[in-house]
Amino acid sequence: MRLRLRPVMEDDFMLLFKWANDPLTRRMSFDTTPISLEDHKKWFNNLLDHQSTQYLFIVEGNKSNNWFPIAQVRFDENGEISVLLAKEFRGKQLAARVIRVGIDYIQRELPLEKIVAHIKPENIASVKAFERAGFRFTRETTVKCHPCLEYIYNIVK
CA 101 to chain centre: 11
Residue 122 has pLDDT above 90, yes or no: yes
- The structural domain count of the chain equals 1
Q: Within a domain: residue 133?
A: no
Instruction: Pick the more confident residue, 128 or 49.
Output: 128
3-class DSSP state of 70: strand
CA 35 to chain centre: 17
Q: Within a domain: residue 117?
A: no
Q: Within a domain: residue 38?
A: yes
Q: What is the per-residue DSSP string for 110-122?
A: S--SEEEEEE-TT
**In Å, how far are 17, 59, 105, 108, 140 from 111, measured between CA atoms?**
30, 22, 12, 8, 26
The CATH number for 9's domain is 3.40.630.30
Cβ-based neighbour number of residue 85 at 10 Å: 24
DSSP at 156 = P
3-class DSSP state of 73: strand
Q: Give the separation between CA 76 and CA 56, rounded to whole angstroms.
A: 9
**Residues ≥6 apart with Cβ < 8 Å to 34:** 21, 26
pTM of this structure: 0.91
Q: In what order do the strands lie in the sheet with 114-119?
A: 114-119, 146-154, 136-143
Q: Within a domain: residue 140?
A: no
Q: Within a domain: residue 65?
A: yes
* Domain carrying residue 84: 2-111
Q: What is the mean pLDDT of residues 49-69?
A: 86
Q: Within a domain: residue 57?
A: yes
Q: Within a domain: residue 130?
A: no
Q: Within a domain: residue 19?
A: yes
Which tens digit of pLDDT belongs to each residue from 64-111? 889 999 999 999 888 999 999 999 999 999 999 999 999 999 988 888
